[in-house]
Amino acid sequence: MTALAHPRVLIPESKIRQRILELANEISYDYRGKEITAICVLKGSYIFFADLIRGLARPLNCEFMGVSSYGTKTVSSGEVKITLDMTEPANGKHIIIVEDIVDTGLTMQYLLNHLKARKPASIKVCTLLLKPESMKCDVQLDYVGFRIANEFVVGYGLDYAGSYRQIPYIGVLDNET
């Protein structure tokens, strides 16, 4: 049996928990009087999504979308395919896209344009992580958990080749990427 390697800790669990509470409070304040439709972008954001929505003190609908980019394992190509779609129409809804990480921004740009065409009442983006140095396009990110350097991270839902999603912190694989 192969043991799971332990990535170097970049953001510990306690910091993630604290920042998510802050984000949830900020979102709850901004959406007072409104019902939120939160979209979990699979697969990477499901753990972040589960923690974030439990802090939202507003009426809430949850949707799930699957997105796969046609890049190699660590480089985004910007070509995106929707592999799973919302079950309810987006029209007239106050949508928050909940993403694990924005790297080049190309996936989010595609998703935003795709959903805006469905005429939601409003649409915002909440990402746990952002790599500002990697951004290749101009995408408005309304809520950002942490800005990180341009290195490949895993854990807290994020994977490398399908592994490491269950690591409870955000870590860096120093020798394996």
For the annotated catalytic residues, the residue numbers are 103
When the beta carbons of 75 and 121 are compared against ligand IMP, the nearer one is 75
When the beta carbons of 44 and 145 are compared against ligand IMP, the nearer one is 44
When the beta carbons of 51 and 99 are compared against ligand IMP, the nearer one is 99
End-to-end, the C-alpha distance of the chain in Å comes to 22
Instruction: Compute the least distance from the CB of residue 61 to ligand IMP, in Å.
Output: 22
Reference 10, options 141, 129, 176; nearest CA is 129
And the tokens for 69? Answer: 């980019």
**For residues 104 and 139, what is the distance between their CA atoms, to the nearest angstrom?**
10
Rounded CA Rg of the chain: 16
| Contact assessment for residue 53 and residue 60, using Cβ atoms and an 8 Å cutoff | yes
When the beta carbons of 125 and 153 are compared against ligand IMP, the nearer one is 153
Instruction: Compute the least distance from the CB of residue 15 to ligand IMP, in Å.
Output: 17
Instruction: Compute the least distance from the CB of residue 141 to ligand IMP, in Å.
Output: 10
**Residue 153: count of CB within 10 angstroms of its CB:** 26
Reference 158, options 73, 43, 4, 59; nearest CA is 43
Q: Which residue has the tokens 């269950």?
A: 166
Instruction: Compute the least distance from the CB of residue 164 to ligand IMP, in Å.
Output: 9
Binding site for ligand IMP (CB under 6 A): 44, 69, 76, 101-108, 152-154, 158
